[in-house]
Amino acid sequence: MAKKLSRYIEAIRLGAVVDAKMPLAGTISPAWSPISYYEYVSVPLTASSTSLTAYVAPNDGTTWQVAAVSARFGTASSSGTLQVEVAAAATAVGSGTNQLTGTVSLAGTADTTVNGTVIASPTVISAGKAVNLVIGGTMTSLADCSVTVVLQRLS
């Protein structure tokens, strides 16, 4: 019984779909089926924040892309903006490929979630590439801000 159960646990861990109507002795259908995985990277920002690296892709054979970006703040900046970029190794923050069609305003209404619009063909993030948050404008007064970048696993 334990061996049969471990087959199901391993299949689920790998993303397979298990038919709940099948008896435990049944087969797994399909044997392996990839599903989308998401990573959520949240970074706090303040009035003194500068552009920074939020995520570095490990050398584990996986690839990712930016799927969504959201920001929320308790106190707005005077004219701050946010761009998310992907940069290859040896590329400075601010010199990568933008992943949003415009910028996310950090100067809007307090306690309101602001969502960025991801470009039509986001850059593939592979080993050694970085996801950077590029700050622009004047960040004066920004407080209680959190930016979340959603990464979708491709492989």
| Domain 36-153 fold | Jelly Rolls (2.60.120)
Residue 95 CA to its chain's centroid (Å): 19
Predicted TM-score (pTM) of this structure: 0.78
User: In this predicted structure, what is the pLDDT of residue 27?
Assistant: 47
Domain ranges of the chain: 1-34, 36-153
Question: What residues in the chain have per-residue pLDDT under 50?
Answer: 16-31, 33
User: In this predicted structure, what is the pLDDT of residue 35?
Assistant: 53
Q: Give the separation between CA 152 and CA 147, rounded to whole angstroms.
A: 16
Q: Are 48 and 138 in contact (CB under 8 A)?
A: no
